[in-house]
Every structure is written in C-alpha cells, then in structure tokens.
C-alpha cells in the first residue's frame, strides 16, 4: 500500500524490515476508515489469523496491538497533556510534563480444565457467544497483586465452580484484544461433579470426551471451538491429539 493512499490522520510506526531489507510501516487508522486499495476489504485478525503464515501472524499481532495503543493514548495519563509519537511509534512523550509512555501489555491466564480419571475436558460457553454454541477454555485478566496461579484458581472457581490443582504451563500468546499476553495452562479438577456456570459471564459449562472434541475440531458436530489462531484452540487441540 502506498503511504499516500492512507488516511492523513493515521498514526505511524516502524515495525521492522523484511529479510530483503524492505521497511515495514504500520498506519493506525480508525475502524471506520476506507480501504486504501480498490477491491480490498478489512479482515479481522481473529478470523484470518489461522490462515496466515506464522511470521505474518506474529507481525499482524504486533501491528494490531501497537495500533490500538497509538490510537488510545493521545493524552498523558499523568497530567492530561497531549502526547507526541517518538521512537518510531514505540513511545509517546507528553508535551507538557515530559513523561514518556510505552505500550502496555496486560497479563491474562487461560486454562484447560481436565478430569484425568475420565479423560474429559471442561469448556464453557460465554454469554457473548450464546447464539454460536461456541465453547472454550476459561480465561481472565490477572488482577493487581495476583500471581498467575492465583488468577487461575480464582477464575475457574468463579466461572465454573471448580477447584483445580496440578497446574502445568503450556505456552503463551500475544493477543491484541486489547493488549494482552495470554499465558496458557492445563489444570486438573478436584471434584468434576461440582462444575456449574456462574450464569453471568458463563452461561453453560460442559464436560467433553476426546471423541467429542475431535468431532468439533473436524467441524462435524454442533459445537464450535475457538479460531485456529488462538491459544485456546491450541490448548484444546493439543489435549485431543496427544
């Protein structure tokens, strides 16, 4: 895309260079901005991320996360003064108090709850997905002063009524919605029969067998799972295909 085709009000940042040395620039525009190329259309990274090569996915995750910060932080949170972009888009400096601000990353946990005795996993249906019959692992932001382990214990008990133990780290993923680092775990339910939805954020919880999960991954059942680009999908798929 030629820079001249991009909205004049865009916030710019430098993302790096290709293997051939070509510079890669980010132009952060409002959600209602016109497409800069005829015949093109904006696509959600949630939807298309799983179809992109790994290197491109990582680049777009960085771009979306940085773009959100550039658009959301025009003023200094300390004094309210206007900020100016510096360091190729990777910092903002307040024009009044001089304080320098950097992009935030908010830690969040996501956990796949298992019942080792019966080889099942517990998934929940979020109220936001009620009409899609989509089930996923349990997740939430880490609160101030909380450890990753503490956040897992709290989130699972709050959302699904289950106490978990035997936490195992399974990987992490930068997730630019809005600017999270998702830290993935697997955990075992102490008393699987106590599982129940909180009725607010989670409207249903359900234990799934490996066969049921494999059907859902193949798209042959009535249950939908998270998009392939997400760590939630990877946690579920890794359990189903050991």
Q: Considering the chain, what is the average pLDDT of its residues?
A: 92
Per DSSP (E only), the strands in 66-119 are: 83-86, 91-94, 100-101, 106-115
Nearest to 138 by CA among 101, 98, 104, 111: 111
Q: Does 178 sit behind a cis peptide bond, omega within 30 degrees of 0 on the bond before it? A: yes
Residues 6+ apart with CB under 8 A from 169: 183, 184, 185
What does pTM read for this prediction? 0.85
Query: For residue 130, what pLDDT is reported?
Result: 83
Query: For residue 177, what pLDDT is reported?
Result: 83
Query: For residue 54, what pLDDT is reported?
Result: 77
Residues 6+ apart with CB under 8 A from 31: none
pLDDT digits (tens, 9 = 90+) for 164-194: 999 999 999 999 888 899 999 999 999 999 9
Tally the C-alpha atoms within 13 A of residue 107's C-alpha that lie toward its C-beta: 14
Residues 6+ apart with CB under 8 A from 9: 29, 30
What region does 89 belong to: left with phi over 0, alpha with psi -120 to 50, or beta? left
The list of the chain residues with pLDDT below 70 reads 1-2, 31, 36
Query: For residue 56, what pLDDT is reported?
Result: 87
Structure tokens at 232: 């939630």
Structural domains of the chain in order of their starting residue, each with its CATH number: 3-101 (3.90.79.20), 106-240 (3.90.79.10)
């Amino acid at each position: 895309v030629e820079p001249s085709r991009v909205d004049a009000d865009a916030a710019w940042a430098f993302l790096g260079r290709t293997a051939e040395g070509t510079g890669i620039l980010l132009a952060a525009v409002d959600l209602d901005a016109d497409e800069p190329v005829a015949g093109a259309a904006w696509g959600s990274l949630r939807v298309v991320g799983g179809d992109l090569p790994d290197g491109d996915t990582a680049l777009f995750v960085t771009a979306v996360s940085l773009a959100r910060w550039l658009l959301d932080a025009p003023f200094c949170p300390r004094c309210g003064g206007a900020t100016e972009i510096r360091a190729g888009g990777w910092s903002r400096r307040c024009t009044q108090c001089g304080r320098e601000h950097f992009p935030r990353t908010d830690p969040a946990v996501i956990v796949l709850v298992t019942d080792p005795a019966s080889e099942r996993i517990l998934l929940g249906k979020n109220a936001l997905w009620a009409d899609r019959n989509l089930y996923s692992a349990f997740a939430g932001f880490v609160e101030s002063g909380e450890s990753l382990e503490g956040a897992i214990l709290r989130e699972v008990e709050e959302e699904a009524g289950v106490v978990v133990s035997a936490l195992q780290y399974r990987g992490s993923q930068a997730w630019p919605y809005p600017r999270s680092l998702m830290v993935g775990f697997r955990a075992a339910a102490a008393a699987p029969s106590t599982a129940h939805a909180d009725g607010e954020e989670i409207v249903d919880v359900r234990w799934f067998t490996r066969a049921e999960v494999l059907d859902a991954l193949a798209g042959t059942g009535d249950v939908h799972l998270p998009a392939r680009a997400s760590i939630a999908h990877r946690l579920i798929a890794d359990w189903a295909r050991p």
